[in-house]
Amino acid sequence: MLKPILCLPVLLLAGAPALYQQAQPAPQTPQKSASPSPAQPAPIPAEYVNMTNPVKPTAESLARAKQIYSWDCALCHADNGSGKGDVAVEQKLALVDFRDPAALKPWTDGQLFYIIRNGRGKMPAEDGRAKENEVWNLIIYLRSMSKGHEGAATPAT
Ligand code: HEC
């Protein structure tokens, strides 16, 4: 009788997605506010505050972060992080200057992760375009912009 043997892979296949989903954190739904306005973006869920950046940057991972930044972020935030990208100027978006060390200070890495993934106000969500570890590297890259070496992040050794 072949039947029981044939059933096994089917069961495994059927079970796998469920197991995978259990391992994932619950999807975050931004809190609804009574009067949503772009000037007051939804608050960042508290569980993001203490998340630590899990990646150890390498020259390659930071080069990749720089590439993602130039494709997905520079149109608004500008290649050098000044916040004066073409779209930002055109739409008169008031963006912080990533070269200013004070600019990203109010945010923890976890909060930045949330902002980049989910968007904020007029900023679109990066969502699934960059992988999780790419977003964490992107944050290291952003923070490196204020170190005075424009566009050149130094990997931790
Ligand atoms: C369409 C323009 C646009 C693009 C593209 C964009 N952003 Fe933004 N970004 C904004 C705006 C507008 C804000 C201010 C949001 C607010 O607080 O209302 C912002 C805010 C931020 C902040 C928070 C800083 C602060 O205090 O305001 C970070 C970090 C950030 N963006 C990173 C990124 C990264 C990384 C990318 C690329 C993956 C990106 N942004 C792409 C427009 C953009």
pLDDT, one tens digit per residue, over 75-107 is 999 999 999 999 999 999 999 999 999 999 999
55 lines ligand 1 (CB under 6 A): no
- Cα–Cα distance, 109 to 121 (Å, whole number): 19
Q: Report the SS3 class of residue 120.
A: strand
Per-residue pLDDT band for 37 (boundaries 50, 70, 90) equals very low
Tell which one of 68, 76, 107, 122 to mutate to probe ligand 1, the residue whose CB is within 8 A of the most ligand atoms. Answer: 76
Candidates 69, 77, 107: which one to mutate for ligand 1, based on the most atoms within 8 Å of Cβ?
A: 77
Prediction pTM value: 0.76
- Give the pLDDT of residue 19: 46
**What whole-number distance in Å separates Cα of residue 107 and Cα of residue 104?**
6
Q: Is the CB of 112 under 6 A from ligand 1?
A: yes
Q: Which atom of ligand 1 is nearest to the CA of 126?
A: 38
Q: How far apart are CA 26 and CA 143, in angstroms?
A: 28
The chain-wide mean pLDDT, for the chain, equals: 81
Contact in structure between 68 and 75 (CB atoms under 8 Å)? no
Q: Which two tokens stand for residue 78?
A: 């500008």
CA of 133 to the centre of ligand 1 (A): 18
154 C-alpha vs ligand 1 centroid, how far in Å?
A: 23
- What the block records as the tokens of 12 is 């495994």
| Domain 57-148: which CATH number of 1.20.58.1180, 1.10.760.10, 2.40.50.140, 1.10.1370.30 | 1.10.760.10
Cα 63 to its chain centre, rounded Å, is 16
Question: Residue 88's closest CA among 71, 74, 68, 99?
Answer: 74
Tell me the HSE value of 63 on the side-chain side, using a 13 A CA sphere: 3
For the cut 60, the answer to whether the pLDDT of residue 73 exceeds it is: yes
